[in-house]
Amino acid sequence: MTTPNRTLLQKADLDLATLTTDGGLLNDQQADRFIRLAIKQSVLLGQVNVTPMNGPTAERDKIRFSGRVLQPGSEATALPLAQRSKPDLSKIRLTAELFKAEVRMSDEVLEDNIERGNFRETVMTSLSAAVARDIEFVAVQGDTASGNPLLAVLDGYLKQATANIVNAAAANLTKSILHDMLKSLPDEFGGVEKLRYYTNRQARLDYRDSLADRATLLGDMMITQRDTTVYQDMPVVYVPEFPNSGTTNVLLTDPMNLMVGFHRKIKIETDRDVSALTNIIVASIRFDVKIVEVDAVSKAINVATT
């Protein structure tokens, strides 16, 4: 015997009791808009290589000349076969995985909160931002061996970065670690004008403090000025979704080397269960992430955040 939908939807997930407890109920002389507190914001998605996918799977070609292509030439003479160059051709396969988010609200929530008629739009806007944040969480920390069901869907950038590893041995982030990471990259990928360091907020703070401790003009600037944190002209970027469990990681690469494929962008749909007087908002998205060239990434492990 199946359970009737009426029973399944009997109680909205976001009901009037929750609204009252969480401080969203309309009170006298209260402002008519929610204060949208700052939460973790997506950083990587605005920098990485975003590619659309026309289907649930897609292939992207990559090309690379790994060796020298120039040879001594002679007029009106073709190069012999042994001196001709051939590019390394390979493919990147993307498989979009489905992710969902769902919110249910009773009619009383929509009627009695401080925004009244605008509340549903506020929830949808905030939900979109939270989805983007969680996409980045999966893209960075995804690991099919994880005990977290969300992270176990696919392998993220940190799991895929298996070359050019630098072990920080539980030390705080300093220029020495960043130096070793840069040195570990093969020379062909060392064009510093495109490279970026990505890490956790705590690790970046430790690096800035290590510069601030210097009794120099640069040390004063680290304390008194808001500027881009760099090492050897390469930005050190704070990514909110990098791990912070006593240790973290640092990635060094060209952001275009980090690919995310979207079968579709965030789709938000609404529905209503009339008998339960419940409003339903469902967000869904399908995506996959890949490192284009693993050898073009350096990863520091065991970087202390305490």
Lookup: tokens for 210: 């290590």
Q: Is 261 helix (H, G, I), strand (E, B) or coil?
A: strand
Flag whether 99 is in a domain: yes
Distance from the first to the final alpha carbon of the chain? 54
Flag whether 31 is in a domain: no
Mean pLDDT score of the chain:
81
H helices present in 29-166, as ranges: 107-112, 119-141, 157-160
Flag whether 290 is in a domain: yes
- Give per-residue pLDDT as tens, 129-171: 888 899 999 999 999 999 999 999 999 999 999 999 999 999 9
* Predicted pLDDT of residue 10: 38
For residue 242, what is the DSSP state? Answer: S
From the DSSP assignment, how many helices (H) and strands (E) are in the chain? 8, 12
Check whether 188 has a pLDDT greater than 50.
Answer: yes
Flag whether the pTM goes above 0.85: no
pLDDT band of 2, cuts 50, 70, 90: very low
What is the residue range of 142's domain?
16-21+37-42+94-304
Check whether 254 has a pLDDT greater than 80.
Answer: yes
Flag whether 154 is in a domain: yes
Per-residue pLDDT, averaged over 168-191, amounts to 93
Per-residue pLDDT, averaged over 279-300, amounts to 93
* Predicted pLDDT of residue 149: 97
Flag whether 169 is in a domain: yes
Flag whether 59 is in a domain: no
Flag whether 58 is in a domain: no
* Predicted pLDDT of residue 157: 98
Give me the helix-helix angle, 175-184 and 201-212, nearest 10°: 110
* Predicted pLDDT of residue 224: 43
Q: Are 270 and 281 in contact (CB under 8 A)?
A: yes
Check whether 177 has a pLDDT greater than 60.
Answer: yes
Check whether 204 has a pLDDT greater than 90.
Answer: yes
Count of other CB atoms within 10 angstroms of residue 49: 17
Check whether 201 has a pLDDT greater than 90.
Answer: yes
Check whether 182 has a pLDDT greater than 50.
Answer: yes
The dihedrals phi and psi of 294, each to the nearest 5 degrees, come to -60, -35
Per-residue pLDDT, averaged over 233-240, amounts to 93
Query: Distance (Å, rounded) from C-alpha 254 to C-alpha 270?
Result: 39
The dihedrals phi and psi of 255, each to the nearest 5 degrees, come to -55, -25
Query: Distance (Å, rounded) from C-alpha 294 to C-alpha 174?
Result: 24
* Predicted pLDDT of residue 9: 36
Check whether 39 has a pLDDT greater than 70.
Answer: no
* Predicted pLDDT of residue 43: 86
Flag whether 61 is in a domain: no
Which of 27, 45, 34 has the alpha carbon at shortest distance from 260?
45
- Give per-residue pLDDT as tens, 213-231: 654 555 445 444 555 789 9
Q: Are 233 and 195 in contact (CB under 8 A)?
A: no
Which of 101, 53, 41 has the alpha carbon at shortest distance from 265?
53
Check whether 93 has a pLDDT greater than 70.
Answer: yes
- Give per-residue pLDDT as tens, 70-90: 888 888 888 888 888 777 778
For the chain, how many structural domains are there in total? 1
Between residues 120 and 294, which one has the greater pLDDT? Answer: 294
Lookup: tokens for 300: 């520091």
* Predicted pLDDT of residue 218: 53
